[in-house]
Chain A
Amino acid sequence: MRRFDCLQALAPMLTDQLLVTNVARTGFETHMAMPREGNLYTMGMGLVTPVVLGLALSLPHRGVIALDGDGSILLNLGTLSTVGNYAPPNLITIIFDNESYASTGGLPTATAGKTNLTGMAKSAGISNAFEVRKIEDFTAVITKALAGRGPWFIVAKVVAEKPPVEPKLMDGRENKYRFVRYIEETEGSVILKPSVVGRKD
């Protein structure tokens, strides 16, 4: 199974969910498969799922999705416990597990050895934890997750590859502003409060 095929399968199933991606090709491929204002790309290693957890807890009525990776989640495993304990029903974490640090030379991650992320997530209290290896199984579990009560933790076993990607023509700051403006617009809230001379709030 290829990550890009998963992303192309995911794209038409999304509506107004907020989505945060991992670094490197996960971000680029997501932008290629589904450029959306509700996407925040290229969050740092180990930070994707906790950032999405903060979104999920703060906007409990809204679906949020983490597109994380094996190397990234292994950097911050404690967050599985926090997801398990707070159990936001609107949270879907998808781990694209290629069992390697594919973008930085391809050295194996722990999941190439004995580590089983699905088992770790279940032991951390996330009962809806699944591993999928075929695109039809990926589509089926995503369909269930989007319609059901989470949190969900879906490990998609994908091949380690470095396909050519198109550049995203914006940096993280522009992406952040657009993401926040999208949330403001769709939630009817005011988040960005730039300086105004004389304002006293």
Chain B
Amino acid sequence: MNQSDAETIGTALADAGFNFAATLPADQLHALQAWVSKSQRFQTVAVTNEGEGVAICAGAWLAGKMPVIILETSGILLSTYALMRCHATFGIPILMLSTYRGGLGDQEWYAAHTGAVLPDLLASLRIPCKVVSSADEVATTFVDARRTMNSSLHPVSIVMDVRLTTRE
């Protein structure tokens, strides 16, 4: 992700009301994670794995924060247990803002299967998902995500496709 898109997306997240972010380094998200971590508009936590990250976000929501975890596609797989046992069980929302490794156009062989299962995985977890392709789309999408989080009290997923996360 380039610096300009990172700034647009980070600003849109904050404008939509998100103010607590868990992050774990991800190659295509580095610029966004760095921007969010430096921003005064977010309280950020660098976590050791995505399952821990979504659980920390659950605690933040219970305390009144609006949490987002910025993560790799494979991190969604890793966080599945916590999403079900914590968020789905108790009714606690979180926004998962992720890459789409293995999505259409990704040229890394190791990501192919992760990307192939992502839509069905999110569907089976009953997590509503929207794929965005440009930074211009994100402002309204983040507002919609927050509204759905407030009404459903359930996780919401926004997946940024390969064109967006690899744009020079």
Output the nearest chain A residue to B55 by Cβ-Cβ distance.
A50
List A139-182 residues whose CB lies under 8 Å from chain B.
172-173, 175-176, 179-180
B residues within 8 A CB of A183?
A: 62-64
Complex-state Cα separation, A194 to B148, whole angstroms: 10
Cβ-defined contact, A78 with B151, below 8 A:
no
Cβ-defined contact, A58 with B65, below 8 A:
yes
A residues within 8 A CB of B135?
A: none
Complex-state Cα separation, A190 to B17, whole angstroms: 14
Output the nearest chain B residue to A85 by Cβ-Cβ distance.
B46
What is the number of residues of chain A that contact chain B, defined by CB distance less than 8 Å? 39
Cβ-defined contact, B57 with A194, below 8 A:
no
Output the nearest chain B residue to A176 by Cβ-Cβ distance.
B90
Mark each residue of chain B from 84 to 116: 1 if its CB lies under 8 Å from any CB of chain A, else 0: 011001111000000000000000000000000
Q: Is B31 an interface residue (CB 8 A)?
A: no
List B19-49 residues whose CB lies under 8 Å from chain A.
20, 43, 45-49
Complex-state Cα separation, A184 to B90, whole angstroms: 17
Mark each residue of chain A from 66 to 90: 1 if its CB lies under 8 Å from any CB of chain B, else 0: 0000000000101101100110000
A50-B55, A82-B45, A193-B150 known; A44 vs B89 contact (CB < 8 Å): yes
Task: Name B's A-contacting residues (CB within 8 A).
Answer: 20, 43, 45-49, 51-52, 55-65, 67, 81-82, 85-86, 89-92, 150-151
Q: Which residue from B48, B60, B81, B89 sits with its C-beta under 8 Å from A54? A: B60
Mark each residue of chain A from 82 to 104: 1 if its CB lies under 8 Å from any CB of chain B, else 0: 10011000000000000000000
B residues within 8 A CB of A50?
A: 52, 55-56, 58-59
A50-B55, A54-B60, A55-B62 known; A78 vs B49 contact (CB < 8 Å): yes
Q: Could you write out 14 A-B pairs with CB less than 8 Å apart?
A: A44-B85, A44-B86, A47-B58, A54-B59, A54-B63, A54-B67, A55-B59, A78-B48, A78-B49, A86-B45, A173-B90, A173-B91, A183-B63, A194-B150
